[in-house]
Structure 1
Amino acid sequence: MDICRYTRRGHCSGCSTTQARKRTFNGLKKPGERAEFVDMIRAQQGSLGRYDQWHTAYTEKCQRLGYGSKV
């Protein structure tokens, strides 16, 4: 969740989040809270469809930055 473009009825075309949820994610500081948030986003992506590539890209980014697999 870095550079979002809200082109799909208020949802980001890359990760499916909304602007309000992005602000919520940025306010979360504990790794457990962020992991739960990512799980919620994954569930939302499953219901909306067309976001299969996001999890792989996000996991790689987190590992590159040293956050572990889900933060």
Structure 2
Amino acid sequence: MSKIPSPCIDVCKFRREGHCIGCSMTKDQKSMFKKLKKETHQRAFLDLLVHQQNDMGKFSHWRLAYLKRCAKKGVPPPL
């Protein structure tokens, strides 16, 4: 099974109360995702992140950018 790519889409500008304007993760969340080894934990993290983005709003660009990232890495999108 292929490793799930990080939800980071390489924008990395932390505004909006410490959340990245590209993916909505905080710096702590970014480091947390890197520590997750099991695919089930990574998928659960992505679900949490999508809910967080929906609550915060203005992250409709993320899904397409993440799908492109998965395609580039040759990994089926976990979404």
TM-score relative to the length of structure 1: 0.87
1:9-63 superposed Cα distances (whole Å, 9 cap, x missing partner): 1000111110111110011122221111111100000000000110111022112
Q: How many residues align?
A: 71
In the other structure, the counterpart of 1:62 is 70
Displacement over 2 Å in runs of 4+: none
Amino acid at match of 1:41: L
Q: Which has the higher contact order (CA 8 A, sep 6+)?
A: 2
Give the gaps of 5 or more residues in structure 1. Answer: none
Q: Which has the higher helix share?
A: 1
In the other structure, the counterpart of 1:52 is 60
In the other structure, the counterpart of 2:36 is 28
Instruction: Sort the Cα spacing of 1:15 and 1:24 in 2 relative to 1 into closer, same or farther, 3 A.
Output: same
What is the identity percentage for the equivalent residue pairs of Structure 1 and Structure 2? 34
TM-score relative to the length of structure 2: 0.79
